Amino acid sequence: MSTVEVAGAGIDAFAHRFEPGAASAAPLLLLHGTGGDENDLVPLGRAVAPQAALLSPRGNVLEGGMPRFFRRLREGVFDEDDVRRRAAELADFVAAARTRYGLAAPIALGFSNGANIAAATLFVRPEALAGAILLRAMVPLAVPPKADLTGKRVLMLSGVVDPIVPAENVNRLAAMLRDAGATVRHEVLPGGHGLSQADLTLAKAWLTGA
């Protein structure tokens, strides 16, 4: 399906791509990394969840002309006020999209910056997401709002030689999510910040409960 170009609030807050799927499959919210767009993760989403509806927004923040989901001050240092505001904006979009497209609460599938906004959304507006697959995520908020993530499943996949995400940081994120009540599975994969076939295989197995 082609991109829906919009500007405003709610469903109109993000240019996005929507592909319908079977009601029996949990929908996926696809959240791209820096410089990506609403098309980037559609092949990955379709590969890990062939029957799922796919909702894929484009980040509204530009950094050197590259779309992102929130501002950062420099590599690894986030504008946390903007993170909170953008997470709430994304949650409002998800709520409106659920009404527009008739969706259940989605599972976020985010990469890098997209994984970070997904993690932030879990803390800021936990009702927006049923769970998350966080690929190369790091802590988005040093002191997140108190959230009850009981019943939410989270898969975190990180790279053992990731030059962007320190091991301490991603381990801290996993602990923060667990402390909030989420059921977290964290796997450290060979490689760095880029994705591999192992990410696809593990994400697909996790979604199917294997």
What digits encode the pLDDT tens for the residues 152-189? 999 999 999 999 999 999 999 999 999 999 999 999 99
pTM, full prediction: 0.95
Topology at the third CATH level for domain 10-207: Rossmann fold (3.40.50)
End-to-end CA distance of the chain: 30
pLDDT above 70 covers a percentage of the chain that reads 96
Q: Please state the domain extents for the chain.
A: 10-207
Helices (H), the chain: 42-48, 80-101, 113-124, 167-179, 197-207
Q: Does the pLDDT of residue 58 top 50, yes or no? A: yes
Contact 146, 175 (CB under 8 A): no
Q: Does the pLDDT of residue 20 top 50, yes or no? A: yes
Average pLDDT score over residue span 96-103: 97
pLDDT for the residue numbered 2: 39
pLDDT for the residue numbered 87: 98
pLDDT for the residue numbered 8: 59
Q: Which residue has the higher pLDDT, 7 or 201?
A: 201
pLDDT confidence band for 131 (50 / 70 / 90): very high
User: What is the pairing mode between strands 72-74 and 77-78?
Assistant: antiparallel
- Residues labelled as active-site residues: 112, 162, 193
Q: Does the pLDDT of residue 3 top 80, yes or no? A: no
